[in-house]
Structure formats: C-alpha cells, structure tokens
Amino acid sequence: MKIHEYQARELLAKFGVPVTASVLAHSGEEAAEAFDRLRGDHGIKMAVVKAQVHAGGRGKGGGVKLVKSAEEARAVATHMLSKPLVTPQTGPEGVPVKKVLVAEAVDIAKEYYLGIAVDRSKGCPVLIASSEGGVEIETVAEENPEAILREPIHPTEGLQPYQARKVAYRLGMAGKQVGQATQIMAQLAKLFLACDASLAEINPLVVTPATETHPAEGRVLAIDAKMNFDDNGLFRHEDLKALADPAEENPAERRASAHGLSYIKLDGNIGCLVNGAGLAMATMDLIKLHGAEPANFLDVGGSASEEAVTEAFRIILDDPHVEGVLVNIFGGIMKCDIIARAVVSAAEHVGFQVPLVVRLEGTNVEQARQILQRAKAQLPTMQVGTDLTDAAKKITTGVKAVDVA
Ligand code: ADP
Ligand code: MG
C-alpha cells in the first residue's frame, strides 16, 4: 500500500524526524490560506506547492513549484489541480491531482538520498544512502553505482548506532550534522520496522546552508518522503490502513483486488488469465516472444471462485485495448472446470467479441473440456491450445488475422 507525501511526513514527524512545516490544500483558495498560515506561524517567506499523487518525479513534471506569496500559491495550486500531472513515473496520460501540499521552502546546501527497502537476497531490510540526493536512486544505481552506500538492518536488533555513524561519515557529513543524520537514520529504521513498511524514502534529505546571519543553520531536514507498506502486515496497523487513498489506484486493479485477484494493467493487446504468478510471467514472456504484448498481468490464484474468475474476464474484456484473450491454467488447487464454467459465464454475460485461446491442463481437465465443448456455440472465437507455445502462437496469429481483416 502506498501513501501520500503529506501522510509520510506526518509519520516521520511522529517518529521524531525533522520535516519542514506544511499545510494540505484542496483548492487555490486553501493554498493561499495555507501560505498565510505558514507565514504567521513559522515566519516563512517562500513555500513550495507540491502535487500529492502516488507517483514520484513530480519535480520534473511541474508538480513542485516555488511560490513567494499567497497570491502566487493560489495561482500555482489552481493550475496544478486543474489538469493531470505527467511525470516520468505516470505514463503519458498522467494522474489527476486532487490535493496539494504547501510546504515551507528551505535553502539547500546539499541534497542526499536516504531510504530503507527490503533486500530480498539478504532477507533483511537495508539502509540505502547516497550523496547524490534529489535524483532518482535508480538513475544513480545505473550511472554511478559506487555512490550508493548500503547497510543491512538486523530484523530484530535494528540499525546499530555505529552503522548510522559510518554512513553519515561516508556521505561526507561533518560536525553537528553527523549527530542529526544518525538520529534520522535510527528513527527511519524504527519507523520501517514498526510499521511493516516495504519502502521508506527521504529524497532529498537536505542540509541547509550555515551563513553569518543564520549561524544556527546546517540543519538536516527531510523535504520529501515516500512510503510503501506490506499489505500482509496491514491487519496489524488499523491507523495505517486508514491512510489508503483508493482514488489513486487504477479502477480495474481496485475491482480485481476486491475479488482477491492480482491484476496489473499493462499496455499491450493480449489479455491473459493465468493461475500462479510464475505461470503468469512465463505466459507474458511467450506472448512477447511471438510478437504481441500482454495487456495485463493476472493471477487468479488457487482458490478463486467461479464468480471471481468471471469477474476477471469482465475486467479483461472491459479494457478497450484487448484484441485477444489467452487463458493458461495449470490446474492444481485451482480446478480446470471452475475456469471452464467462468469462460462460459463470461461468454453469456459479456461475450467474447475477440479471439480466445484456452489452454488447460491438470485437475479436472476432462470435465473442463466437456463444459467448453458443450458451450461451443456460445464461443465462436474460441480455439484450444495444446501447450503453452501452441496457445501463444494461436492467440498472436489470431489477433494479427483480425487486424488484417
Ligand atoms: P519529487 O521527488 O516527486 O520530484 P521532491 O519533493 O523531491 O519531489 O521535489 C523535487 C525537488 O524540488 C527537490 O529535489 C528539491 O530540490 C526541490 N524542493 C522540494 N521541496 C522543497 C522545499 N521545501 N524547499 C526547497 N526546495 C524543495
Ligand atoms: Mg523526491
């Protein structure tokens, strides 16, 4: 589960990580009021208006703007809220912006990256830090991998103080910043473990410039935050669950998850219905190998009911980009006859206007074949795939044939 930056900042603050002052706004009017409030309460002179969406790279897409007055905050927020935000992470159609955060702007001497993610090969969380802040960490990893520091975090003992100090020194911090930075790392690690997070990022973590007029500066602060939580841990955290924002999720993905299906929308033209994540990945690979692109990842799992599988077909067939459907089931716990019944039910309720290739093997496959055979009249576009390659070939040529016609 993802949360918004403004929510992540509240969590950071709760764990004692210093963040800049900020106020959430839903309109230009509220953004102007937010600016005035920050000026009154914190004496700010400048603020940044930041689009609150579950996607990063906002800075590059015009979703982070500096403003110097309440009037400017109003104008910038009104504009930001009026159209979808396109960033390198959203896709070309962008995502709607429903809220903006008005946050105190700070002078920045240096930006750092600080994050915690799960290192699957080590089987523990890992603290990741880099002195190349403000840049996507993936870009740093590609272009300058030695600039990334990694410290494994013991799953029960947590991050040790010596580890945090080592990272702070390697980042090039000195003097009082070392203490502030190690404190932030320790608190971020506590937050990560306590909340069952799967990702907790501060990018950038900044140091403000110390000047003669502001000798107290040189502060270490979080000015952006991103957090994801493990869905399987959410039952332990009612407070975190309440932070979910369904409006940020793809509607088809939301529908699928309500039926216990793992569905991810992709850009291709072949809808796939598969059981098991591994088989789903292999099926997508084969579709690609034979010259088409998958329209989705869909794992119906082992225990889905006929209704849930029928809903899965509805979701696939509702996607206007779908030009063909490939069903690939290896019946084990999932029984082939349930899938066959769902195919027939989808044919009755929605109708397959596009080519359909069905490949079934395993538990109750004979019953399944009979069900499909009996319903042949309702399934004029159906072909049977004898194995995975045959099925992938049939659906890709089927779709191409329709294209030509
Ligand atoms: P995103 O990661 O989505 O691009 P950020 O919040 O990291 O959004 O903002 C992008 C950049 O904008 C930062 O790297 C920083 O340079 C600048 N910025 C963001 N917030 C502030 C702030 N409060 N004060 C000054 N600069 C900021
Ligand atoms: Mg950022």
Q: How does pLDDT run across 29-42, given as a tens digit for each residue?
A: 999 999 999 999 99
Do 12 and 155 sit in the same domain of this protein?
yes
Question: How many other C-beta atoms can be found within 10 angstroms of the C-beta atom of residue 354?
Answer: 19
Q: What is the pLDDT of residue 16?
A: 97
Which pTM was predicted? 0.80
What is the mean pLDDT, run by run of 10 residues, along the chain of 405 residues?
97 98 98 98 96 94 97 98 94 92 96 96 96 84 90 95 97 93 98 97 94 76 96 94 88 87 93 94 96 94 89 94 95 92 93 95 95 94 94 93 72
For β-strands 226-229 and 270-274, DSSP reports them as: unpaired
What are the residues whose beta carbon lies below 5 Å from ligand 2 (ion)?
A: 203, 224
Give the domain-ending residue among 105, 131, 153.
Answer: 105
Q: Which CATH number characterizes residue 69's domain? A: 3.30.1490.20
Half-sphere exposure of 300 (CA within 13 A, CB side): 30
Do 259 and 321 sit in the same domain of this protein?
yes
Q: Which CATH number characterizes residue 184's domain? A: 3.30.470.20
Half-sphere exposure of 226 (CA within 13 A, CB side): 18
Do 211 and 148 sit in the same domain of this protein?
yes
For β-strands 356-362 and 382-384, DSSP reports them as: parallel
Cα gap 85→397, rounded to integer Å: 37
Q: Which CATH number characterizes residue 260's domain? A: 3.40.50.261
Do 351 and 211 sit in the same domain of this protein?
no
DSSP bridge partners of 48: 66, 103
Do 363 and 282 sit in the same domain of this protein?
yes
Q: What is the pLDDT of residue 140?
A: 87
The C-alpha R_g of the chain, in whole angstroms, comes to 26
Do 216 and 171 sit in the same domain of this protein?
yes
Residue having the nearest C-alpha atom to atom 19 of ligand 1: 223
Give the domain-ending residue among 57, 72, 105.
Answer: 105
DSSP bridge partners of 325: 271, 356
Q: What is the pLDDT of residue 249?
A: 81
Q: Is the CB of 208 under 6 A from ligand 1?
A: no
Cα gap 309→304, rounded to integer Å: 6
Do 4 and 34 sit in the same domain of this protein?
no
Do 93 and 59 sit in the same domain of this protein?
yes
Residue having the nearest C-alpha atom to atom 16 of ligand 1: 134
Do 174 and 294 sit in the same domain of this protein?
no
Do 1 and 150 sit in the same domain of this protein?
yes
Do 95 and 138 sit in the same domain of this protein?
no
Cα gap 34→46, rounded to integer Å: 12
The number of residues in the chain equals 405
Q: What is the pLDDT of residue 216?
A: 66
Residue having the nearest C-alpha atom to atom 14 of ligand 1: 134
Domain count, the chain: 3
Cα gap 91→85, rounded to integer Å: 10
Q: What is the pLDDT of residue 144?
A: 87
Question: How many other C-beta atoms can be found within 10 angstroms of the C-beta atom of residue 385?
Answer: 20
Do 337 and 283 sit in the same domain of this protein?
yes
Tell me the residue range of the domain where 277 lies.
250-404
Q: What is the pLDDT of residue 215?
A: 65
CA 132 to ligand 1 centroid distance, Å: 14
CA 399 to ligand 1 centroid distance, Å: 45
Q: Is the CB of 55 under 6 A from ligand 1?
A: no
Q: What is the pLDDT of residue 135?
A: 79
Q: Is the CB of 106 under 6 A from ligand 1?
A: yes
Give the domain-ending residue among 105, 139, 174.
Answer: 105
